[in-house]
Structure 1
Amino acid sequence: MKRQNLIILTGLIVLLPLNAQEKKYPERAPMTPAMTEYWQPQPPVVTPDPVPSDAIVLFDGKNLSQWENSKGAPAEWTVHNGVFTVKKGTGDIQTKQKFSDFQLHLEWRIPEGIKGESQARGNSGLFLQGIYEIQILDNYRNETYVNGQTGSIYKQTPPLVNAMRKPGEWNTYDIIYTAPTFKKDGTYRTPPTVTLLQNGILLQNNTIIRGTTPYVGFPEVKEHGPGPIKLQDHGDPSQPISFRNIWIREL
């Protein structure tokens, strides 16, 4: 009997601290929706139409005052009827302003009745930060090497699909670009990436750009800072590509 009493008493001694602990630490209050909500800071209001209210308009249909040639002289491409067109032999043009991360919109048109095949058919290019080329080309029923067709990161990554409209119709590019960052040795800490939609269809999905986009050779990593948006005068006789409605949002 004495041994049983001892066991019972021991059990009571053990239970007492547990009961005391339960009283000291009550159950947490039930979660409410407000516990996971915050209200500040509110995002800025941006009105979307016809151009986002926080965008920089790079071409308003009137002149090329936002652009220059590669030597810093005035851009010489032809402005007419709210669009501008490549003027063969005058060289590439680029924005006077330089950019890092951005959202870019532009519209471009291959002329109706264009001749030629493969790369000799309405060839131009859009250079992000003046360095990394997104190809512009007429690939409507016109095959070429896939990492050189419209919407490719030139000589690197083909587009997911061919979303070309036929010559004479306008194409749109909508681009989200993240600029690279660099280590002290000049290599990428984070590489540049690009998402590209043509005519509302995804062509590049947060694609890594491996380096420069040369016609001959392989990509190279070259340290740089902010850079312009550049459009290419490819020099082809069949090339009178036109552009309109160009705007950019810095991110």
Structure 2
Amino acid sequence: MKRHPSRIVLVLFLGIATWTGSIIAADDRPKVLQLPPAPKLPVVQRTAQETEAPPKPVAYTDAKEAGEDYRVQGEYTGKIESESSEAWHGVQIVALGEGKFDIVIYSGGLPGNGWDGETRLLTSGALAGGRMIFNWGDDNAELAGKKIHVRNAGGDSIGRLSKVKRKSRTLGLPAPPHATVLFDGTSADAFDGGRMTDDGLLMQGVTSHEKFQDFRLHVEWRTPFMPTARGQARGNSGVYMQGRYETQMLDSFGLTGEDNEAGGIYGIKKPDLNMAFPPLTWQTYDIDFTAAKFDADGNKTVDARMTVRLNGVVVQDDVPLPEATRAAPVAEGPEPGPIYLQDHGNPVRYRNIWIVPRDAEAD
């Protein structure tokens, strides 16, 4: 498709929508307008590999206290006109603290909702007086409120994007028959070291009393808003199958998706797609786990395997696990193991945790 020669101006104003639908199939997506990169704007790609962070970054657990930067941060979708068609686009605005933001633009729509999987453009901006002004190549862009207006170099409007609040399709999924309910908001007694917040959420750093072999796990989790933190210091936790194999929990909104980011199997494999939602948004893991096999002498004969759905989308598909996660609390072995929710020093919260042992499903 012929690229539109114009560049864009982005403007935000009030408006919000909620997305709970299914993923747009590739064949149903509108044609993609691939926006040109901005060579004049230096960009440093933010990833969870970064280690520098301001000392003692603030961690907000209540959106009402998170400030203006949190209200600007979020996801936006809409259509942009080209010379011959309209094309969906998605935008993720990521707060970095002190009114600074990363802005990620996806051709086709948001990840898991139309993105073509290839065209991902990164720019940045700063908030001043409730507005954000930044350069996109030779053009200027302005963001304010909760909508994005796109204008070409001549000042003509070529599209509008609205803020959306996506919701995992498995959020609130009830425990099925034969499930073992580990946490339903009434008690943390199923966990060693179990602690609850005043509003009935499970706190990090707990290990289930019961141990499991092959199973299906559902857990809902929420990272804090830590705009000045970076990398592994930004809303970090993890859920360990059998206390051995970690699926990472991290504020990974707007990142590229690595093994130590949300959806990653730590130290083994990055997610096929970064489906992370913004911090302070409830997210879901649905994990199918098959334990490793050992012979009578204790030698491993078959690796453990895992399928991971992040926010209802498969991001790890039947992945072999050749070894336990580094620093896992339980060494590899033939015995069943617990569910462990890691304490990495950040106030990550959990709710609606249940597990269905595979032998119970068979019954």
Residue 108 of structure 1, CA deviation:
0.3
Closer/same/farther in 2, CA of residues 51 and 223 from structure 1, 3 Å limit: closer
| 1:233 aligned partner | 343
Give the root-mean-square deviation of aligned CA atoms.
Answer: 2.3
Q: Which amino acid aligns with 1:203?
A: V
Percent identity of the aligned residues?
37
Aligned to 2:299: 187
Q: 2:202 aligns with which of 68, 84, 87?
A: 84
1:199 maps onto 2:311 in alignment: yes
Q: Is the 8 A contact 1:63 1:79 kept in 2?
A: no
Q: What's the counterpart of residue 155 of structure 1? A: 267
> 2:227, 2:191 → 1: CA distance?
27
* Structure 1 residue 149: Cα displacement: 1.1
- For the Cα contact (< 8 Å) 2:207–2:339, is it kept in 1? yes
Q: 1:143, CA displacement in angstroms?
A: 5.7
Check 1:222–1:59 CA distance in 2 against 1; reply closer, same or farther (3 A cut).
Answer: closer
Q: 1:148 is paired with a residue of what secondary structure?
A: coil
Partners of 1:50 and 1:205 in 2: CA distance: 23
**Distance verdict in 2 for CA 1:211–1:148, change over 3 Å:** same
The 8 Å contact of residues 133 and 213 in structure 1, kept in 2 or not, is answered as: yes
Show CA shifts across 1:50-74 (max 9, x none): 32122111001012110004xxxxx
Residue of structure 2 in register with 1:223 after alignment: 333
Q: Which is richer in strand?
A: 2
Q: Match for 1:122: what amino acid?
A: G
Q: In 2, distance between residues paired with 1:78 and 1:59?
A: 10
Kindly indicate whether the alpha-carbon contact (under 8 Å) linking 1:110 and 1:240 is maintained by their aligned counterparts in 2.
yes
| Match in the other structure for 1:5 | none
1:172 equivalent in structure 2: 284
Unaligned runs of 5+ in 2: 1-171, 359-363
Answer whether contact 1:117 1:142 (CA < 8 A) is retained: no
Question: Is residue 93 of structure 1 aligned with residue 174 of structure 2?
Answer: no
2:262 alignment partner AA: T
**Are the structure 2 counterparts of residues 113 and 213 from structure 1 closer, same or farther at C-alpha, using a change threshold of 3 Å?**
closer
Assess if the C-alpha contact under 8 Å between 2:223 and 2:280 holds in 1. Answer: yes
Return the alpha-carbon distance in structure 2 between the equivalents of residues 242 and 232 of structure 1. Answer: 11
1:130·1:230 contact (CA, 8 Å) conserved in 2?
yes
How far apart, in 1, do the equivalents of 2:295 and 2:324 lie? Answer: 17
Letter in 2 for 1:99: F
1:249 aligns with 2:353: no
CA positional deviation for 1:113: 4.9
> 2:228 corresponds to which residue?
115
Q: Hey, what does 1:54 align to over in structure 2?
A: 178
Give secondary structure in 1 for the equivalent of 2:231: coil
TM-score in terms of structure 1 length: 0.68
Taking the TM superposition and a 5 Å limit, the aligned residue runs for 1:29-68 are 50-68=174-192
2:227 and 2:187 map into 1 onto residues whose CA distance is: 26
Provide structure 1 residue ranges, at least 5 long, that are not aligned to the other structure. 1-47, 70-74, 87-91
Moved over 6 A (4+): none
Q: Per chain length, whose mean CA-contact separation is higher, i.e. which structure has more relative contact order (CA < 8 Å, sep 6+)?
A: 1
Deviation readout 1:64-85 (Å, 9 max, x if unpaired): 110004xxxxx3x333323223
Deviation at 1:141, TM superposition (A): 2.3
CA contact (8 A) 1:107 1:245 kept: yes
Give the Å deviation of 1:147.
1.8
The superposition leaves residues 163-212 of structure 1 with CA deviations (integer Å, 9 ceiling, x where unpaired) of 01101110000010001111244332221000000111111100000111
Any idea what SS the aligned residue of 2:232 has? coil
Structure 2 CA distance, aligned partners of 1:94 and 1:109? 18
- 1:142 Cα deviation from its structure 2 partner: 4.2
Between the two proteins, the alignment pairs up a number of residues equal to 186
- Is the 8 Å Cα contact of residues 118 and 142 (structure 1) preserved in structure 2? no
Cα deviation code 1:130-165 (max 9, x no counterpart): 111111111002468x22111111111111110011
Match of 2:322 in 1: 210
**Structure 1 position 112, deviation (Å):** 3.4
Q: Is the 8 A contact 1:186 1:222 kept in 2?
A: no
